[in-house]
């Protein structure tokens, strides 16, 4: 990960996080096509907002795992808010039928799980996230 260090004005390191969030009511709506679109959107959002998404996987078609790095000045809640909000809005535009298959047209559950990488080795997190890929 040393090659991914980014210098900001006050630090020369990034914090790493494993972030998980789910579809509202765990509806299995994240098809392979939507997953490909989301991977592209997540990378675009991260680039615009100043953080890095190293890994992104959809698990069981109803939740998402991300391995994210960011300078300390960017909060986890901000990153998750940007990822969930922008992906939902853009997916609803591209796939209008998606909104109809969800209760009250809400894509993401309000909750999310975050674990800072440090308590568990980075390699273990990578392996865990990579195993979330489902064969459809």
Active-site positions read 128
For the chain, where are the alpha helices, taking DSSP H only?
32-49, 76-94, 96-100, 122-130
Cα–Cα distance for residue pair 45/41, rounded to 1 Å: 6
Tokens 């865990």 locate to 128
Burial of 59 (0-12, 13-18, 19+ CB in 10 A): middle
Least Cα distance to 83 among 97, 66, 100 occurs for: 66
């Amino acid at each position: 990960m040393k090659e991914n260090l980014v210098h900001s004005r006050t630090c020369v390191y990034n914090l790493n996080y494993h972030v998980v969030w789910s579809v509202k009511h765990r509806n299995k709506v994240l098809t392979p096509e939507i997953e490909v679109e989301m991977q592209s959107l997540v990378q675009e959002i991260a680039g615009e907002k100043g953080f890095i998404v190293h890994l992104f996987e959809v698990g069981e078609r109803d939740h998402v795992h991300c391995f994210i790095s960011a300078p300390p000045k960017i909060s986890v809640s901000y990153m998750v808010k940007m990822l969930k909000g922008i992906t939902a809005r853009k997916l609803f535009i591209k796939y209008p039928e998606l909104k109809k298959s969800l209760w009250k047209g809400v894509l993401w559950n309000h909750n999310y799980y975050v674990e800072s990488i440090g308590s568990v080795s980075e390699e273990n997190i990578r392996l865990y996230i990579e195993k979330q890929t489902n064969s459809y």
